[in-house]
Chains A and B, each alone.
Chain A
Amino acid sequence: MGFKHKDIIGLQGLTREEIELLLDTAENMKEIMGRDIKKVPTLRGKTVVNLFYEASTRTRTSFEIAAKRLSADTINISASTSSVTKGETLSDTARNVLAMKPDIIVMRHAASGAHHYLAQRVSCSVINAGDGAHEHPSQGLLDMLTMRQKFGRLEGLKVAIVGDITHSRVARSDIFGLTTMGAQVCLAGPPTMMPPGIERLGNVVVCSDMREAISGADVVMMLRIQLERQGKTLLPTLREYARYYGLNPEKLKLAKPEAIVMHPGPINRGVELSSYVADGDQSAILTQVENGVAVRMAMLYHVSGGELPTA
């Protein structure tokens, strides 16, 4: 089975087989990173434009390394240093970037749906590197790859996602991906950060207490408190948040003994995670980062073979 999409806007809508194909490809791409020469000629002559309308170090660097490991040429454009600051619209930016004949645009944008808008207007492939509070598919895939490596499967796993669900595009991609793959997702967070009706997304349970969510969990996914995304303060104090929704060794004992702790980063130490947990034996945070490059290589590889829409 081939991957037939021109773009990857989100994990919502991808089939189980397509997600499995992306994860299998990423798994096999990891071998390249262990070599002295960490490069294959697959995308030689292709151009990947990283168009970042929001600050990002980890994701942009990861996509850039992924593209370079596949021998693509990469160009980085950040909104803060581009004509966007002069008032250029997304549509105009896209047309100008397109005139440079890229093969793939990797974009991060603060507006949910910006990628869908862009993908309809450009002939090249578009990969979503995070749009508003909508989706972050590469993070969702690298999370799933990390879980699959640890447990050998995704089906039947209990995954607790704790924190600011409302503003988390990571949570949405994880929910879409994990439920498609047959995992059970338990959400916990302050009521002000829990979108109403989210349990309707599928095999998702909303827990009122963090302890309930992580009890017997195989994976505990802690989300970053995104103060920059919150229009108004949704929590009284960080200290109170840490007390009720932070993960410490005592709470972690409620999860299965072999459970892993994940976090999309960057960590607010002492808020979402105590340092003891963040740096502990059960932490899979650095494995997530390592898997990020492999997953993004897989995404770049497969979208470059996706079918173009018929005219």
Chain B
Amino acid sequence: MGAEKTVILDGAGVRRALTRIAHEILERNKGVADLVLVGIRTGGVHLARELSLRLEEIEGERPPVGEVDITLYRDDFKGHTPHLPVGKTDIPFAIEGKKVVLVDDVLFTGRTIRAALDALMDHGRPDCIQLAVLVDRGHRELPIRADFVGRNVPTSRKENILVTFDGDNRPLEVVLEK
């Protein structure tokens, strides 16, 4: 029997959430000056691109988007279990002195964000790092919280949150799997 699925955010809901986050980012940072977006591969990168487009629609200027792969920064390496494929980190701009908005699709234990923060700091010393996520599902294991949240979804550990994207990497919906 397959997992029971509930749509938490449909396409329109995702679009509204991203638009709200874009407004909140602009309000917090008073515009897009010195603002850069870095998405965590792979879902976070697609969402960072969406946010960048929204920011351009509102402000007339598109902040640059980079992508970070956290595989080499994970804290759960165990000897002799096949390691995950290493993805590409591509931050084609200096983050020194910039306001970095780190973007991910789902915030869960916080360990991915911890790894991403380490990876970002290896690239330079930004002015600040803010965190934007589409869904916060709780269960934090580290003292990390998001600055911008599309939707808070209290979950059990057995449940799974899935953000789906279409062929053009545009977000389709957010599904809760039980």
Q: How far is the CA of A3 from the CA of B83 in the complex (A)?
A: 7
Of B56-64, B85-93, B144-152, which binds chain A?
Answer: B85-93
Q: Chain A, interface size: which category?
A: 20 to 34
Q: Nearest-CB distance from A119 to chain B (Å)?
A: 14
Interface flag for B118 (CB, 8 Å): yes
- In the complex, which residues of chain A have a beta carbon less than 8 angstroms from the beta carbon of B90? 31
Q: A308 near B80 (CB under 8 angstroms)?
A: yes
Q: DSSP majority for the A interface?
A: loop
Q: Nearest-CB distance from B88 to chain A (Å)?
A: 5
Q: Nearest-CB distance from A127 to chain B (Å)?
A: 15
Instruction: Give A residues with C-beta under 8 Å from B.
Output: 2-4, 6, 21, 24-25, 27-29, 31-32, 35-37, 39-43, 70, 103, 298, 301-302, 304-308
Residue in A39, A42, A302 whose Cβ sees the most chain B Cβ within 10 Å: A42
Residue in A36, A37, A41, A302 whose Cβ sees the most chain B Cβ within 10 Å: A41
Interface flag for B154 (CB, 8 Å): no
Q: A305 near B88 (CB under 8 angstroms)?
A: no
- Total count of chain B residues near the partner, CB < 8 A: 21
Q: Nearest-CB distance from B90 to chain A (Å)?
A: 7
- In the complex, which residues of chain A have a beta carbon less than 8 angstroms from the beta carbon of B86? 24-25, 28-29, 298, 301
Q: B80 near A28 (CB under 8 angstroms)?
A: no
Q: B82 near A28 (CB under 8 angstroms)?
A: no
Q: A28 near B69 (CB under 8 angstroms)?
A: yes
Q: B122 near A2 (CB under 8 angstroms)?
A: no
Q: B89 near A31 (CB under 8 angstroms)?
A: yes
Contact of B124 among A4, A36, A41 (CB under 8 A): A36
Interface flag for B72 (CB, 8 Å): yes
Q: How far is the CA of A305 from the CA of B71 in the complex (A)?
A: 13
Q: Nearest-CB distance from A68 to chain B (Å)?
A: 14
**Lowest 7 A-B CB distances belong to which pairs?**
A2-B82, A305-B83, A40-B72, A42-B72, A37-B122, A25-B86, A28-B86
Q: How far is the CA of A301 from the CA of B86 in the complex (A)?
A: 9
Q: B122 near A302 (CB under 8 angstroms)?
A: no
- In the complex, which residues of chain A have a beta carbon less than 8 angstroms from the beta carbon of B87? 28
Other CB < 8 Å A-B pairs besides A28-B87, A31-B90, 9 of them? A2-B84, A3-B83, A24-B86, A28-B69, A36-B124, A39-B122, A42-B77, A301-B72, A304-B77
- In the complex, which residues of chain B have a beta carbon less than 8 angstroms from the beta carbon of A29? 86
Contact of B122 among A3, A40, A304 (CB under 8 A): A40
Q: How far is the CA of A27 from the CA of B89 in the complex (A)?
A: 11
Given contacts A36-B124, A41-B73, contact A31 B79 (CB under 8 A): no
Q: Which residue of B lies closest to A27 (CB)?
A: B88
Q: Which B residues from 48 to 106 make CB contacts under 8 A with A? A: 69, 72-73, 77, 79-90
Given contacts A28-B87, A41-B72, contact A306 B77 (CB under 8 A): no
Q: B81 near A40 (CB under 8 angstroms)?
A: no
